[in-house]
Chain A
Amino acid sequence: MSSFSKSPWIIHYDASSCNGCDIEVLACLTPVFDVERLGVVNTGNPKHADIFLVTGAVNEQSKDVICNIYHQLPEPKVVVAVGICAASGGIFRECYNISGGVDSIIPVDVYVPGCAARPEAIIDGVVQALGVLEKKQAEMTTLANSLDKTQYLRAEKKDAPEILGLQKTAYQSEAEIYGDESLPALKQTLVELETEFARPEQVFLKAVVNGKIIGSVRGYSLDGTTHLSRLIVHPYFQGRGIGRRLLEEIEKSFSNVKRFEVFTGQKSERNLKQLHQLGFREFKTEPGTASITWVYLQKERK
């Protein structure tokens, strides 16, 4: 048993519950059931939590909140749907404002039935969630250990949501450098990205480990020059040569092109240094947004 199963921290959210299940969830903390003896802490903060307890069916107002909380939970995380409403929508399933159980929005790992779910059942659900948590932790470790088995493949349109999510994570460090949350890469929408996929001359590459995309780069060829952009690597896997490998791979896929062009911000010293190492040289600068001056770099292939 690892430390994960000994210290499950919970965040509890009431989607649209009648409060029956909520009272039972809180009853678990009382002296009669005392889940704290299992190390359970009701944190109230998604960034500290491991287990996401949701009660009640999902309605239009709670939809975004659930997604938001789910994405704020650090990996590994487990979702437990408590009560029949959370599991399937229950008696509210057909209501005009209900989109169904929690699994209509986010992946659910454990379902706790009941109306209202009994405290014993909730505790049992949490204990089952611990097993899932352990499994996910093991998967994460494998992921980190199998970086040498990273595959570099062409990305397809169905990868767009995952790549966009990765892009927003990876560009956080850039946003910090420029103190600007409105970088084009952070503002891009899914529709825009999917349009990019539709362009015939565009090449998308992805770095995949165990089915999870951890890096990506894109480029298109125009008048004998390949314009490369959006070289992204998940912050967790940065500095391990994945970005360099992605650039090499995308250069290979434009075999008949002699000239490559990339751009980055003037303050992104790390990017500039790495591009220099790969043979890119500055040739022009251009004003970008209020905070950024774009630096263009080029590389000629012999």
Chain B
Amino acid sequence: MSSWLSLIIYLVAAPIVGGLLAGWDRRISARMQSRQGPPIFQPFYDVLKLVKKENVVVRRSQNYYIFFFLLLVIFTGGLFFAGADLLLVIFALTLAAIFFVLGAYKASSPYSFIGAERELIQMMAYEPMVLLTAIGMYMVTRSFAVGDIANHPTLLVAALPGVFLGFLYTLEIKFRKSPFDLSCSHHAHQELVRGITTEFSGRTLAMIEIAHWYENVFLLGWVYLFFGSMPGLGVAVALLVFVFVILVDNVFARLKWQAALKSAWLVTVVLGFGNILALAIFFPKPATPAAAKVQPVTPTQLAMPAVAANALNTVDAEPARRN
């Protein structure tokens, strides 16, 4: 599939898929609490209503920041699905989040201040792991391009189990789910009113919702990347991860921010960095993309651990590009 086609599909389908996922999320959550839950289209009803509501602002410029937040989230996902550089995707994602935080700061209300500060702490918590994920993927595939990573013949998760688990941990933060719903919670916990989104209403709040839909689809796309060589499995795991995140959301209470930060960095060091260290020490010669393309993927290769397959691949490849 050409990168342009997948880009257009992303731009059109992501809000629909994201909205349905959000509806599904609320329904599954309700079932986990033995309630019936809202209709699956509920997030769309909410956004349609918000668009019609009056837009109350403290400062008018706060809405421009949110507009750029939405724009940059779409840009991030667009880059990702167009197969661009993973590092650029991460930077765009960070920039988007920064605009969200700036919008909340601009509103100058104590609640949105606390929300914004907590959002920054959350970014501190997840950024290292997200970067390590990109590095881990590079170490296996020798490319930062999402297109190359997705088409890599080995199962990335086999070489990067620690990085995958670490990424799952950061997903809990990125989805703003318990135990990490510090900056703004989607449910009835009201200690901080609505944290970072407190001062946004009407159309601007709708923009934030839509940005979250785009973001969620992009994040699940990244989960898929770990299973790029087996598309069916990839989609299944991405959905499974989503259900897992909801389960965790319903099982755990909220953590304090100190605990969230410490645990996220601990996970990053132990699982993320440890995985990459092991990869660097034990398999210093990963497959070059050229060799990988020549080698047809056989069922036996899929069956054996991908790391081993990597090592095999390099045997008859040209001398691997080391450093």
Contact = CB atoms under 8 A, between A and B. Distances in A.
Q: Is B a genuine binding partner of A?
A: yes
A239 B295 CA distance: 65
A156 interface: no
Interface in A6-56: 6-7, 9, 29-31, 34, 36-39, 41-45, 47-48, 50
Interface in B66-112: none
B46 A39 contact: yes
Contacts of B194: 43-45, 48
A223 interface: no
A2 B56 CA distance: 22
Given A37-B35, A173-B60, A176-B61, A48 B205 contact: yes
Nearest to B194: A45
B53 interface: yes
A236 interface: yes
A173 B26 CA distance: 38
A108 B198 CA distance: 25
A48 B201 contact: yes
Contact of B190 (A36, A37, A44, A236): A44
Contacts of B30: 34, 36-37
Interface stretch (B4-12, B36-44, B159-167, B257-265): B36-44
A279 interface: no
A176 B107 CA distance: 11
Interface in A41-96: 41-45, 47-48, 50, 72, 74-76
Contacts of B282: none
Contacts of A277: none
B38 A3 contact: no
Contacts of B55: 74
Contacts of A75: 53-54
Contacts of B45: 3, 6-7, 39
What is the predominant secondary structure among interface residues of chain B facing chain A? loop
A30 B34 CA distance: 9
B56 A34 contact: no
Interface string B121-140: 00000000000000000000
Given A6-B45, A34-B36, A47 B61 contact: no
B168 to A, nearest CB: 27
B273 interface: no
Contacts of B35: 30-31, 34, 36-37
A176 B59 contact: yes
A279 B302 CA distance: 79
B226 interface: no
Contacts of A31: 33-35
A236 B54 contact: yes
Contacts of A30: 35
Contacts of A36: 26, 30, 35, 37-38
Contact of A44 (B33, B36, B49, B188): B188
B199 A6 contact: no
B289 interface: no
Contacts of B193: 44-45
A30 B33 CA distance: 9
B206 to A, nearest CB: 11
Contacts of A48: 194, 197, 201, 205
Contacts of A37: 30, 35-39
Contact of B201 (A29, A74, A76): A74
Contacts of B42: 6-7, 39
7 contacts: A3-B49, A7-B46, A31-B35, A45-B194, A47-B201, A74-B53, A172-B57
Interface of A: 2-4, 6-7, 9, 29-31, 34, 36-39, 41-45, 47-48, 50, 72, 74-76, 137, 140, 172-173, 176, 235-236
The 7 closest A-B pairs by CB, nearest first: A44-B190, A3-B48, A74-B54, A6-B45, A75-B54, A47-B201, A3-B49
